[in-house]
Chain A
Amino acid sequence: MKSPEELKQLVQQAKDGDSTAFSALYEQYITPIFRFVFFRVRTKEDAEDLTQHVFLKAWSALPEFGHEGKSFSAWLYRIARNTTIDYWRKKKPLSLDPSSSAFQNKQDKGLSPLETANQKEEAEHIRKALHILNEDQQTILTLKFIEDLSNKEIAHVTGKTEGAIRQIQSRALKALRQHLKETKPK
């Protein structure tokens, strides 16, 4: 994990066209950005394609990025969010691909096949449930609880006030609770 100062320096170097510095930023942010995208789209393959697209877009747009009050990660999440909006706009919504998996290899975590299967099922359940929410609600819940961003950081990503974020978050949790209650296996 790099310090904020190191990251700032890498961003500056990448802005100046240093692709090695950008590679270091890529390694730093690839997992959270992929995860954010993964919960917003249909398949792991789509998530990987879009994640690549996000970073290529970021590379092209980096000269326009300014540090004024905004973090690089918030800027990346904003690109990721716009990319997923574009994805849903261009694609006909279909059901999620149940075979899609983005889990760590079980050997990596030392989990039994049963534990891995349970985790996979749980994640798919959550992912499907998130898709019943509107775009703002999905973005805010994913950033808040899966990506662990503060309301201030989410405000930078979404362009909303922190008060509005709290309201949307509360409403999204209620909607999710209702949905999970209705779809709970009997």
Chain B
Amino acid sequence: MITQEEKEIIEKLKAQRANVRPSRALLTSILAQLPANSRGESSQLFWWLRLAIPAGVALLIGIVFFNMQGDPTQVGQAPSETLQIQTLQQAPAPQPEGVLSFASLGAEEEEIEQVFAQQEKILADEQAQLEVQGKTVLEQVEMSEENVVKIASRRAAVIEVKLEELAREGKNVEELELLLADAQSRIEEATTLLHTIREDLRAEDANEATIHATRDTFRAARKNTRDVYETFRTITREAKNL
């Protein structure tokens, strides 16, 4: 139900449609920047490059992973950390029957917190050596964090199914659905942040400043994921009281 005050806000927002316009300079500036009829030819010429780049990147990631597992001098005591991260990557999806049990949620959280703890160590190590090696460390961290986001997404999906079931049983789950929508948007935000980290790290001009900015972004994504689990806990608690 929209209140009168909210209707007024909507009207104010709508009024902005007529008020805001780009400058005339912007209207013409981009036209000069487009190469006349040249993109079609180049895209045909380089079709193979578009296939080769992702394949090359995938291969590079594979090599980095392989090397980090085999070389204990990289990333301090990296082998055991890598092993734990890999264990997480292989973790099975949460089972639907356990979705609203604190035990299953707690186990999953503990697993994710272990990865966070390992990542803290890796980051601390990386801070001491802001070299190319540090960059691969961050790639490793980013990949494991992305895995955490995947687990959180799966959890959100099964909670959604459970809430639908509760709604069919006549329970009022409106507030819980709002909480879930909020958690889902935070997961998406974290995913976007992680995606940009990957792009930044793979950029040819990546340097120390990039790594520094990446670390901040990574922490923002991690905070989002933690908030998501806080919300999951609330949903679990409230669902039990329905």
| Chain A residues near B (Cβ < 8 Å) | 16-19, 22-23, 26-27, 30-31, 34-35, 38-39, 44, 47-48, 51-52, 55-56, 59-60, 62-63, 82, 85-86, 89-90, 102-104, 119, 122-123, 126, 134-136, 141-142, 145-148, 159-160, 164, 167-168, 171, 173-174, 176-177, 180-181
> Is the CB–CB distance between A56 and B33 below 8 Å?
yes
The A-contacting residues of B in range 182-206, CB under 8 angstroms, are 182, 184-185, 188-189, 192-193, 196
B181 touches A102 (CB 8 A): no
CB–CB B39/A59 < 8 A: yes
Q: Is the CB of A51 within 8 A of B17?
A: no
Q: Do A17 and B37 touch across chains, with their CB atoms under 8 A apart?
A: yes
Q: Which of A62, A126, A168 is within 8 Å of B16, CB to CB?
A: A126
Do A30 and B26 contact each other (CB < 8 Å), given the known contacts A18-B37, A103-B19, A103-B20?
yes
Q: Interface on chain B toward A: helix, strand, loop, or mixed SS?
A: helix
> Could you list 14 A-B pairs, sorted by A, with CB under 8 Å?
A19-B38, A31-B22, A39-B20, A48-B23, A52-B26, A82-B192, A85-B196, A89-B193, A89-B213, A103-B20, A126-B12, A160-B185, A168-B181, A168-B185
Smallest distance from the beta carbon of A156 to chain B beta carbons, Å? 15
Query: Is the C-beta of B21 less than 8 angstroms from some C-beta in chain A?
Result: yes
Residues of B within 8 A of A174 (CB): 6
Give the CA-CA distance A39 to B15 in the complex, in Å.
Answer: 13
Residue of A nearest to B193 (CB): A89
Contact present for B196 and A89 (CB under 8 Å) = yes
B189/A135 in contact, CB under 8 A = yes
Contacting residue for B9 out of A26, A135, A177, CB 8 A: A177
Q: Provide the residues of chain A in CB contact with B192, threshold 8 Å.
A: 82, 85
Which listed residue (B2, B29, B40) contacts A16, Cβ 8 A? B40
Residue B62 is within 8 A (CB to CB) of chain A in the complex: no
Neighbouring B residues of A145 by C-beta, 8 Å? 10, 13-14
The size bracket of the interface on B is 35 or more
Q: Are A177's CB and B30's CB within 8 A?
A: no
CB-based contact B14/A146 at 8 Å: yes
Task: State whether A134 touches B185 (Cβ < 8 A).
Answer: yes
Residue pair A102, B5 in contact (C-beta under 8 Å): no
With A and B bound together, what is the CA distance between A89 and B220 in angstroms? 10
Interface centre among B9, B10, B37, B193 (most CB of A within 10 A): B9
Contact indicator B21/A103 (Cβ below 8 Å): yes
Q: Does B56 contact A (CB under 8 A)?
A: no
The answer to whether A31 and B21 have CB atoms under 8 Å apart is yes
Instruction: Please measure, in the bound complex, the distance between the C-alpha atom of A1 and the C-alpha atom of B50, giving whole angstroms.
Output: 35
The interface residues of chain B lying within 8 Å CB-to-CB of A142 are 13
Q: Which residue of B lies closest to A45 (CB)?
A: B23
Given A30-B22, A63-B43, A89-B220, 4 further pairs, Cβ under 8 A: A85-B196, A145-B14, A167-B177, A173-B2
Q: Do B17 and A146 have beta carbons less than 8 Å apart?
A: yes
Known A103-B21, A173-B2: A89·B34 in contact at CB below 8 Å: no
Cβ–Cβ < 8 Å partners of B41 in chain A? 17
**In the complex, chain B residues whose CB is within 8 Å of the CB of A168:** 181, 185
Measured in the bound complex, the distance between the Cα atoms of B16 and A54 in whole Å is 21
Pick the contact of B34: A19, A48, A160 (CB < 8 A): A19
> Is the Cβ of B16 less than 8 Å from the Cβ of A176?
no
Kindly list chain B residues whose C-beta atoms are within 8 Å of the C-beta of A164.
Answer: 181, 184-185
Which residues of the partner chain B approach A180 to less than 8 Å between Cβ atoms? 5, 9
- A47–B19 alpha-carbon span in the complex (Å): 15
C-alpha gap A126/B37 in the complex (Å): 41
